[in-house]
């Protein structure tokens, strides 16, 4: 068996491993990162290999990415999640020019060129505003699960006004809205509006170019994606599994480093979606 | 060094326990950031020594100097001309403000969400951990930003203070007149402090001294145009930081030795990194000791910083060689005032000079990308970043904007952004 490429995306909330055989995703795994990222990384790799039906010895090259990429000493190289998300998104749809990636503690907007290279990007600083962490904290304040909060927002008729973007201040704002007797659905919708505003301003800073793809765990929140589409006046593509796009990009980079591929020129982008796409 | 200098620090009313913590932290940081670098020039040994004696030998020199009846003047910002201070017989030392060590002390008085440099400047005085501050007979402030201005008012309750007004529209005749008058007032203030008159002979000599310092620093800056550069950005930054408080003549001599070594390295084609390393320019806010945060992340990520458009870089020497041909004190002060208004600080409006400087430097130093560095809540640089970015973009030079403070909590995110920027440049 020819050596196989592995991408490992060690995010702040979940760890993703993806096995790529030539141009096909043959297995992937998503695990919570937890308090022992090194361990979670190894487990994710083992699980992805199991799904792919390969042994870990078949891996020819590993690229680690994500916030915890330094926690994978066994990786052959480390590339930032910005480069990897751009690669993964472009591979999934070669018409992608803007990637919105919202993960556990970071949100990023990446502008990519016609040949799939990063040309510019915006990333939040240490502040949790507009990230998955923000939604988690707010869901907790509403005593809802992450998923039920996303769904509840869709049932709102009159979204509450949340003026604060700061996670700490917004939480106390939510508490006072609950005290005022506002409906949880409306507060949840208000929070989605506030996150959409934050992300939209990052997109506008960099300049929107179509097509737009959203990746990262927060892209699973379809209410938020719809709001964002409205704000940006554009369609947003969401991959079937938006959480693995960083790992996919890492695996694509790893694939180029495989001995069998070393001399071959980088393949031209093809308008084939190996990874099924859905429109929201 | 603590045992040898303990008595001296006690006399300066230093809080010894906290001061020990400060120096302990500094020594560890310095080892990690500086001493583990590869291919360092031998000439950097002097600066290593200066840092190892940062609160020791230089403070002893200042104390001995004061015991003879001389005065020490402290400052934070380039607009306070060293030429005037030296001509009065005093010495000028820069105060640091580059660490969050004393934030808790500062926050007892100042708001929490202000510029980290302002917070540190005030905090180090109230915490009594900076012997330079303790040894200062006069602090000269300036009006470059509102935060500093107001902080100086509070600091003025703790130390003798004189504030120089820096005009905001330097192109106008009124501004040049105002700054000249301000420097004349500073001159009287210094004469009052030292009890000796500033003469034209004294000024001519001090202009010569500081010109020599600027000339050698300019030569240092120019060595970094080489590919690969003979010195790391971190080391060059340190040389500039030390320029703020070292004895000017000794500094010039030691820096000459360093520069000669660097020029020899260039002749031999020796660099501090591979020629393929991305060449980065840093543009923006000053970095006071021990703020090596950004340089450390950038150079640990495989790039090399080749120039700083900063108060600890090209702005420090942007006054150029000051004309000292006039025979009158007024004429000489006029030369100084005009030259100092060539420092393109973001407190100016408009500040097109700085935009032009950025483009010129990016070209002259053949940089692959620019990282714009702003201290948190520094409105001047933070907002001006947009203009710098647009101008660079027009020239096809990519820029990354960073806003940060002295804490380490955002190191992970900064590393990701910087590495992604470098990956973007390498493609």
Q: What is the CATH number of the domain that holds B415?
A: 3.40.50.11900
pLDDT at A162: 84
In terms of domains, do B232 and B313 share one? Answer: yes
- Longest CA–CA span in chain B (Å) reads 63
For A118, name the nearest residue in chain B, comparing CA atoms only. B424
Confidence of residue A222 (pLDDT cuts 50, 70, 90): confident
Among A270-279, B193-202, B308-317, which stretch is predicted with the lowest mean pLDDT?
Answer: A270-279
For B405, name the nearest residue in chain A, comparing CA atoms only. A126
Each domain of chain A, given as residue ranges in start order, spans: 1-78+240-271+276-280, 94-239
pLDDT of B241 higher than 50: yes
For B401, name the nearest residue in chain A, comparing CA atoms only. A122
- 10 Å CB burial of residue A209 (0-12, 13-18, 19+) is middle
Whole-structure pTM value? 0.91
pLDDT of A265 higher than 60: no
Distance from CA of B222 to the nearest CA of A (A): 30
Confidence of residue A261 (pLDDT cuts 50, 70, 90): low
Please list every residue in chain B whose beta carbon sits closer than 8 Å to the beta carbon of residue A125.
403-404, 410, 413
Is B397 a member of any domain?
Answer: yes
In terms of domains, do B81 and B174 share one? Answer: yes
pLDDT of A7 higher than 60: yes
Confidence of residue A272 (pLDDT cuts 50, 70, 90): very low
Total CB pairs under 8 A between chain A and B: 42
Residue ranges of chain B whose CB lies within 8 Å of a chain A CB: 398, 403-404, 409-410, 412-413, 416-417, 419-420, 423-424, 427
CA-based torsion, A175, A177, A179, A184: positive or negative: negative
Confidence of residue B3 (pLDDT cuts 50, 70, 90): low
pLDDT at A277: 43
Assigned token pair, B188: 């009287």
pLDDT at A126: 65
In terms of domains, do B191 and B304 share one? Answer: no
Contact yes or no for A27/A53 (Cβ under 8 A): yes
Whether A79 and B403 lie within 8 Å, measured CB to CB? no
pLDDT of A40 higher than 70: yes
pLDDT at A173: 87
Distances (CA, A) of B12 to B55, B123, B401: 12, 17, 41
- Residue of B416, B417, B427 lying closest to A117 (CB–CB): B427
Is B61 a member of any domain?
Answer: yes
Assigned token pair, B116: 């980290």
Residue with tokens 């607009």: B79
A145 prior amide bond cis, ω within 30? no
pLDDT at A129: 73
Is B327 a member of any domain?
Answer: no
- Residue of A79, A106, A124 lying closest to B423 (CB–CB): A79
Domain count, chain B: 2
Please list every residue in chain A whose beta carbon sits closer than 8 Å to the beta carbon of residue B416.
67, 80-82, 106, 123
Mind listing the pLDDT tens digit for each residue in B43-63?
A: 999 999 999 999 999 999 999
Confidence of residue A262 (pLDDT cuts 50, 70, 90): low
Confidence of residue A274 (pLDDT cuts 50, 70, 90): very low
Confidence of residue B186 (pLDDT cuts 50, 70, 90): very high
pLDDT of B295 higher than 70: yes
In terms of domains, do B35 and B138 share one? Answer: yes
Q: Is A143 helix (H, G, I), strand (E, B) or coil?
A: coil
Mind listing the pLDDT tens digit for each residue in A18-39?
A: 999 888 999 999 999 999 999 9
Confidence of residue B121 (pLDDT cuts 50, 70, 90): very high
Mind listing the pLDDT tens digit for each residue in A235-251?
A: 999 999 999 999 999 99
Radius of gyration of chain B (CA): 21
| Number of neighbouring beta carbons within 10 Å of residue B102 | 24
Proportion of chain A above pLDDT 70, given as a percent? 92
Whether B403 and A117 lie within 8 Å, measured CB to CB? no
Proportion of chain B above pLDDT 90, given as a percent? 97
pLDDT of A226 higher than 60: yes
CATH topology for A94-239? Nucleotidyltransferase; domain 5 (3.30.420)
In terms of domains, do B67 and B161 share one? Answer: yes
Is B272 a member of any domain?
Answer: yes
Mutate which: A9, A33, A107, A126, vs B, most B CBs within 10 A = A126
Whether A121 and B423 lie within 8 Å, measured CB to CB? no
Q: In whole angstroms, what is the distance from residue B293 CA to residue A111 CA?
A: 27
Tell which of B173, B196, B219 closes a domain. B196
In terms of domains, do B160 and B231 share one? Answer: no
Chain centroid offset of residue B199 CA? 28
Assigned token pair, B148: 């500093």
Confidence of residue A280 (pLDDT cuts 50, 70, 90): very low
Residue ranges of chain A whose CB lies within 8 Å of a chain B CB: 67, 79-83, 106, 117-121, 123-126
- Residue of B409, B420, B427 lying closest to A80 (CB–CB): B420
Proportion of chain B above pLDDT 70, given as a percent? 99
Distance from CA of A223 to the nearest CA of B (A): 28
Tell which of B196, B214, B237 closes a domain. B196
Is B357 a member of any domain?
Answer: yes
pLDDT at A69: 92
Mutate which: B390, B420, B422, vs A, most A CBs within 10 A = B420
Task: Measure CA of the first residue to CA of the last residue in chain B; give whole Å.
Answer: 49
Is B107 a member of any domain?
Answer: yes
Whether A67 and B412 lie within 8 Å, measured CB to CB? yes
In terms of domains, do B122 and B224 share one? Answer: no
Q: In whole angstroms, what is the distance from residue A82 CA to residue B410 CA?
A: 17
Confidence of residue A167 (pLDDT cuts 50, 70, 90): confident
Mind listing the pLDDT tens digit for each residue in B357-403?
A: 999 999 999 999 999 999 999 999 999 999 999 999 999 999 999 99
Confidence of residue A175 (pLDDT cuts 50, 70, 90): confident
Is B309 a member of any domain?
Answer: yes
Q: Of B274, B280, B303, B259, whose CA–CA distance to B397 is shortest?
A: B280
Q: In whole angstroms, what is the distance from residue B358 CA to residue B373 CA?
A: 13
Please list every residue in chain B whose beta carbon sits closer than 8 Å to the beta carbon of residue A83.
420, 423-424
Residue with tokens 């934050």: A198
In terms of domains, do B87 and B236 share one? Answer: no
Q: Of B172, B168, B301, whose CA–CA distance to B233 is shortest?
A: B301
pLDDT of B40 higher than 60: yes
pLDDT at A273: 43
pLDDT at A133: 83
pLDDT of A135 higher than 90: no
Confidence of residue B1 (pLDDT cuts 50, 70, 90): low
Please list every residue in chain B whose beta carbon sits closer than 8 Å to the beta carbon of residue A81.
416, 420
Residues 6+ apart with CB under 8 A from A265: none
B87: domain CATH number is 3.40.50.11890
In terms of domains, do B17 and B162 share one? Answer: yes
Distances (CA, A) of B347 to A229, B151, B387: 40, 16, 14
Residues 6+ apart with CB under 8 A from B305: B232, B233, B234, B236, B237, B280, B281, B282, B295, B298, B299
In terms of domains, do B151 and B255 share one? Answer: no
Mind listing the pLDDT tens digit for each residue in B5-39?
A: 999 999 999 999 999 999 999 999 999 999 999 99
Domain ranges, residue B8: 2-196
Is B355 a member of any domain?
Answer: yes
Number of residues assigned to chain A:
280
Whether B424 and A123 lie within 8 Å, measured CB to CB? no
Distance from CA of A256 to the nearest CA of B (A): 14
In terms of domains, do B100 and B53 share one? Answer: yes
Residue A216 per-residue DSSP state: S
pLDDT of B335 higher than 90: yes
Confidence of residue A269 (pLDDT cuts 50, 70, 90): very low
Assigned token pair, B309: 């458009």
Tell which of B175, B196, B217 closes a domain. B196
Whether A83 and B423 lie within 8 Å, measured CB to CB? yes
Average pLDDT of chain B, as a whole number: 96
pLDDT at A8: 97
Mind listing the pLDDT tens digit for each residue in A57-70?
A: 999 999 999 989 98
CATH 3.30.420.40 fits A1-78+240-271+276-280, yes or no: yes
Q: In whole angstroms, what is the distance from residue A179 CA to residue A177 CA?
A: 5
């Amino acid at each position: 068996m020819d050596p196989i490429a592995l991408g490992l995306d060690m995010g702040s909330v979940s760890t993703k491993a993806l096995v790529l055989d030539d141009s096909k995703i043959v297995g992937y795994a998503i695990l919570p990162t937890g308090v022992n990222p090194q361990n979670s990384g190894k487990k994710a790799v083992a699980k992805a290999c199991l799904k792919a039906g390969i042994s870990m010895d078949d891996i020819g090259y590993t690229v680690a990415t994500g916030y915890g990429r330094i926690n994978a000493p066994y990786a052959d190289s480390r590339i930032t999640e910005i480069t990897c998300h751009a690669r993964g998104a472009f591979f999934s749809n070669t018409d992608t020019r803007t990637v919105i990636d919202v993960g556990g503690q970071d949100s990023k907007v990446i502008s990519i060129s016609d040949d799939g290279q990063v040309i510019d990007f915006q990333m939040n600083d240490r502040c949790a505003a507009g990230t998955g962490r923000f939604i988690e904290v707010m869901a907790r304040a509403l005593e809802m699960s992450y998923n039920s909060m996303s769904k509840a927002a869709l049932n709102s008729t009159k979204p509450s006004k949340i003026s604060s973007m700061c996670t700490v201040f917004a939480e106390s704002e939510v508490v006072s809205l609950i005290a005022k007797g506002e409906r949880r659905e409306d507060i949840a919708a208000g929070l989605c509006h506030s996150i959409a505003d934050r992300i939209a301003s990052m997109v506008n800073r960099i300049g929107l170019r179509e097509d737009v793809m959203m990746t990262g765990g927060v892209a699973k929140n379809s209410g938020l994606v719809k709001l964002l589409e409205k704000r940006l006046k554009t369609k947003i593509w969401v991959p079937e599994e938006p959480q693995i796009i960083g790992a996919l990009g890492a695996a694509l980079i790893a694939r180029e480093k495989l001995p069998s591929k070393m001399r071959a020129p980088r393949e031209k982008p093809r308008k084939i979606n190996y990874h099924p796409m859905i429109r929201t | 060094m603590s045992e040898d200098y303990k008595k001296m620090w006690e006399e300066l009313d230093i809080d010894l326990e906290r001061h020990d913590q400060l120096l302990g932290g500094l020594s560890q940081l310095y080892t990690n950031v500086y001493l583990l670098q590869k291919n360092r020039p031998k000439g950097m040994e002097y600066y290593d020594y200066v840092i190892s004696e940062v609160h020791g030998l230089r403070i002893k020199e200042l104390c001995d100097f004061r015991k003879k009846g001389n005065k020490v003047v402290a400052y934070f910002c380039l607009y306070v001309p060293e030429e005037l201070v030296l001509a009065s017989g005093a010495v000028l030392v820069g105060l640091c403000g580059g660490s969050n060590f004393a934030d808790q002390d500062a926050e007892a008085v100042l708001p929490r969400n202000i510029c980290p440099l302002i917070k540190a400047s005030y905090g180090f005085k109230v915490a009594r951990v900076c012997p330079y501050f303790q040894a200062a007979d006069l602090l000269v402030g300036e009006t470059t930003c509102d935060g500093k201005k107001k902080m100086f008012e509070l600091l003025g309750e703790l130390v003798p203070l004189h504030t120089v007004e820096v005009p905001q529209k330097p192109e106008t005749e009124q501004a040049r007149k105002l700054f000249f008058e301000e420097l004349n007032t500073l001159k009287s203030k210094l004469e009052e402090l030292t009890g000796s008159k500033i003469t034209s002979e004294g000024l001519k000599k001090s202009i010569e001294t500081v010109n020599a310092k600027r000339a050698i620093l300019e030569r240092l800056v120019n060595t970094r145009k080489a590919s690969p550069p003979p010195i790391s950005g971190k080391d060059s930054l340190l040389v500039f930081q030390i320029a703020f408080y070292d004895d000017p003549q000794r500094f010039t001599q030691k820096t000459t030795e360093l520069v000669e070594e660097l020029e020899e390295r260039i002749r031999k084609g020796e660099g501090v990194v591979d020629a393929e390393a991305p060449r980065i320019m840093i543009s923006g806010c000053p970095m006071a000791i021990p703020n090596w945060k950004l340089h450390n992340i950038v150079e640990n990520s495989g790039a090399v910083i080749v120039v700083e458009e900063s108060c600890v870089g090209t702005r420090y020497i942007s006054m150029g060689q000051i004309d000292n041909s006039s025979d009158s004190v007024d004429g000489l002060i006029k030369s100084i005032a005009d030259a100092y208004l060539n420092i393109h600080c973001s407190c100016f409006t408009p500040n097109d000079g700085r935009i032009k400087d950025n483009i010129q430097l990016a070209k002259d130093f053949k940089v692959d990308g620019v990282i714009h560095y702003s201290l948190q809540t520094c409105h001047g640089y933070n907002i001006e970043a947009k203009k710098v970015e647009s101008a660079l973009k027009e020239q096809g030079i990519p820029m990354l904007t960073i806003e940060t403070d002295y804490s380490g909590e955002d190191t992970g995110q900064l590393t990701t952004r910087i590495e992604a920027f470098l990956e973007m440049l390498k493609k």
